[in-house]
Structure 1
Amino acid sequence: MRSSEAIRMRSNKPVSVQILNCLFTVLLTSCPLSLVFFTLLSLVASTHALEIIWAVNAGGHYHIDENGIQYMEDPLRIGTPSDFGKALSIGRVSRNDAILYQTERYHTNSFSYEVNMPKEGDFVLVMKFAEVYFTSSKQKVFNIVLNDQHMVVRDLDIFDKVGLGRAHDEIIPFTIRNGKLVVINEASTFNNVLKITFVKTHYDNPKVNAFYIARSRPEDVPKLPALFADQDIHSQQRRKDPFEEADTDITSEKQKTKFNKRSGPIVEDPYADQEGNFFWPIFCSVVAFIPILICLCKM
């Protein structure tokens, strides 16, 4: 897509800021103190709000996510749009926003999006992925490069990272200042267009499910829940500590084989002498009785 055809998206204010603006209007002529309070509160909220520069639902249609980010319908005509992921229930994301990971754009070669960046400042590129086809790693592996110079993601193997049908985000901070693009401490000349290229390797086709660019800091960007967080509680209840399991197995084995397996030197039986002492008087009595029996027989 040529830079002149890149579509810019209006900055979107979160719902909280919109509500504050409504309250601001209502209280405009009623209470000066409330007016001051809500004005200050709105300024604080706006300071930490995401200013969306561009957002697209790759291979899909317009969508507003739960954070109020508006994703445009995919304008790119290179490659193939696909909604194959709709056959899967995507993990780590709400049902409302699963569509961002169910549709995608892929290509049999490298492909790019180009975005006009009219402002300088600190930005975050958030790219969304989900593996919806392959069921093993080392099948779809590709790179992501900014402006043909900055390798920001190398050998991305979505399945290897999160498995099948689970959301995965790549968050890349970058800075534009004084005609320079700075990414991971590397600078290059910047001409107001950010080019995001999904680079084909010798594995399967590169792809992207959705992405957005925001004027923000990485720590302020909405994050996905921890991997397998929805399963950890249940699995921990069912799963034993492997060391405890090993100890239990060893103890059980010892109980079954304690008379067959020795864990130290052989110990003499402490009752062996007692058994010998028990039979010794009987033996002596028998030996002493034999001569008496012989004498009785001669009489």
Structure 2
Amino acid sequence: MDVLGRRLCLHLESRYFIFLIALILHVTSSHGIGEIIYAVNCGGGAHVDVYGIHYQKDPLNIGVPSDHGKVLTIRRAPPPDQILYQTERYHTSNFAYSVPIRSDGDYVLVMKFSEVWFTEPNRKIFDVQMNDHIVVDHLDIFATVGLGVAHDEIIPFSVKNGILTVNKEASTFNGVLNIEFVKLMHDNPKVNAIYIMKGSVDDLPLLPPLQSMEHQHQYNEDDEEEEMMQQDSSSSRHQQSNQQKRRRPVSELKVSDPYASEDPSSMLLPVIIAVAAFVPIVFCLCRL
């Protein structure tokens, strides 16, 4: 039995190992991404996301790092990656991240945003420039997705023979990509996280569609409201029942008479027995 048991255990372990390898390969092939050449969690610490992207701690000294977003649960973002949309860096003026690009090729810039402060549109609006090119014009995060919702701006670009090409515009490239957040008339520019991938947009992990998330959120709200109504109804019925019990008049409370159900003859039985026992005793005493 020991030999058979060991063989069975080895067989199961080998099958489990093969299954695990196949699962890893499937996940890798399903969510494979290009080469990440730069990633930073703006305003926060280092983080590895669900796709294996290693975000470095924010090295920037200009501006203000903030983790105010931690008071919110960010919709559309995977739970382990909430932090990428909860921390941010903002500044009262323009600020930029500089990234060296060492080889020619196709690239994608991904900038992550979430509005965690304003609850209406037209309160925070800013531009984003890549070197001399405006790549995001008048970004209003709340107007785009609302409060506490993840939003990614995806900018494909290419570098070839000293030329930067983005949005069908070209300029001389000196090997350094400047990602600048430009202050306009409405509040301060900000960013939550950045990464640059060598590859195409097809290689990117994308956020869930906003429309489906809104529907799911609405369903969740409806379920919560229905559950609360059921709880309120049940609580109301329980309270009414308790009130009826408390308000029952004293006259309605029947106190049973312990002797009401007694037969009168049964009450005389002990007396008869006592007399019957006493008579022979008296008779015997008289004969003495």
- TM-score category of the 2 structures, normalised to the smaller one: 0.5 to 0.7
2:137 aligned partner, one-letter code:
R
CA contact (8 A) 2:33 2:205 kept: no
1:70 counterpart (47, 54, 65): 54
CA contact (8 A) 2:88 2:192 kept: yes
Please state how far the C-alpha of 1:228 moved relative to its aligned partner.
Answer: 4.4
Q: Shift of residue 57 of structure 1? A: 0.1
Aligned to 1:126: 110
Deviations 1:175-205 (A, max 9, x none): 0001000001111000100000000001100
2:183 is matched with which residue?
200
Residue from 135, 141, 145 that aligns with 2:125: 141
AA aligned to 1:62 is A
* Aligned partners of 1:92 and 1:228 also within 8 Å: no
Residues 84, 52 of structure 1: alpha-carbon distance in 2 compared, 3 angstrom cutoff: same
CA drift of 1:230 comes to 3.4
Cα RMSD between the aligned structures? 2.6
Work out which of the two has the higher radius of gyration on C-alpha atoms and give 1 or 2: 2
Distance 1:190 1:238, change over 3 A: closer
Tell me the residue number matched to 2:205: 222
C-alpha deviations, 1:13-34, integer Å up to 9, x for none? xxxxxxxxxxxxxxxxxxxxxx
- TM-aligned CA distance change 1:228 to 1:56, over 3 Å: same
% identical equivalent positions: 54
Paired residue secondary structure (2:144): helix
Question: Which secondary structure state, in structure 1, belongs to the residue aligned with residue 153 of structure 2?
Answer: strand
1:159 aligns with 2:142: yes
SS of the residue 1:202 aligns to: strand
- 2:170 and 2:219 map into 1 onto residues whose CA distance is 46
Match of 2:36 in 1: 52
Inter-partner Cα distance in structure 2 for 1:120 and 1:181: 10
> Shift of residue 150 of structure 1?
0.6
Work out the number of aligned pairs and report it.
199
Per-residue CA deviation, residues 216-263 of structure 1 (Å, 9 max, x unaligned), is 111221110011423415747999xxxxxxxxxxxxxxxxxxxxxxxx
1:200 aligns to what SS in structure 2?
strand
State how 1:6-155 maps to structure 2 within 5 Å: 49-147=33-131, 149-155=132-138
User: Any unmatched runs of 5+ in structure 2?
Assistant: 1-21, 223-288
- What residue ranges of structure 1 are gaps of 5+ in the alignment? 1-37, 240-299
The structure in which a higher percent of residues are helix is 2
Instruction: Name the residue aligned to 1:213.
Output: 196
Please report how far the alpha carbon of residue 119 of structure 1 lies from its aligned counterpart in structure 2 after TM superposition: 1.1
Q: What is the TM-score normalised by the length of structure 1?
A: 0.62
SS at match of 2:154: strand
Cα deviation for residue 49 of structure 1 reads 3.3
Q: TM-score, normalised by structure 2?
A: 0.65
